[in-house]
Amino acid sequence: MKQSGVTLMELVVVVAIASILFAIAVPGYAYFLSANRIAVATNDLVSSLQLARSEAIRRAARVTVCKSDNAMSAAPSCNPAAAWQAGWIVFVDGGGKGVIDSTDQILRVYGPVNIMFTTSNFKTYISYLGHGRSQGPNGLATGSFSLCLAGSQRKLILNNTGRIRLTAGKC
C-alpha cells in the first residue's frame, strides 16, 4: 500500500523558508503602512483646503477650516485649544472668524488622525476669502502645515494666493 504526504523533514524546511520570508517582509510592510497613513492624512488635509478655497470662490464668501476635538459629534465646533490631529471642520464662515455660528453651513468634517501636526500662522484656523486668498487668525496669507510620522514629513506650504505646494522630508 502506497502512502502519500510529506515527511517531517520536508515540513520543517518549508516552515523555515516561510519564516525567513516573513522576517524579510515585515519591516517593508511596516514602512508601507506608515507611508500610506501619512499620505492619507496629507491628502485629507489638502482636499479640505482645496474644498475651502473652491467653495469660497464659488460662494464669494469666507470659508474656514478649523481644528476641532469633536468634529465627528452631532454638533461639531471649533476648538482653538485642540490639536489639528484631533480633527478639523470645513464650513462657510458667515459670522465670527474661525467660529461656527448658528447660521454657518458645515461642508465637511474630518475625524482624528494618529499623525503629528505642526503649523506656522494657522495655529487655530485657516480661512479662504471670496477671491481665493488664504488668511490665518493673525491676518497673514502665508503659512504651512507639517505632518510627521515615523521620521517621514510632508509639508503643505500655502502661498499668499492660497495655493498649496507639497514637500517631503525628514522629521
Which pLDDT value is given to residue 1? 62
Indicate which CATH number applies to the domain containing 72: 3.55.40.10
* pLDDT at residue 130 tops 90: yes
* Residue closest to 141 by CA, chosen among 44, 43, 56, 80: 56
Q: Of the given ranges (30-39, 65-74, 148-157), which has the lowest mean pLDDT?
A: 30-39
Q: Say how many domains are in the chain.
A: 1
In a domain, 49, yes or no: yes
Q: Sorting pLDDT into bands at 50, 70 and 90, what band is 60? A: very high
Per-residue model confidence as pLDDT tens digits over 77-122: 999 999 999 999 999 999 888 899 989 999 999 999 999 999 998 9
In a domain, 2, yes or no: no
* Residue closest to 109 by CA, chosen among 156, 64, 148: 64
In a domain, 15, yes or no: yes
In a domain, 127, yes or no: yes
Cβ atoms within 10 Å, residue 19: 10
In a domain, 20, yes or no: yes
> Taking the mean position of all CA atoms in its chain, how far away is CA 45?
4
Strand partners, 152: 149, 170
In a domain, 99, yes or no: yes
In a domain, 73, yes or no: yes
In a domain, 93, yes or no: yes
Q: If you search the block for the grid coordinates 492619507, which residue do you land on? A: 40
Per-residue model confidence as pLDDT tens digits over 138-155: 889 999 999 999 889 999
**Rg value, the chain, Cα:** 23
Range of the domain at 40: 8-170
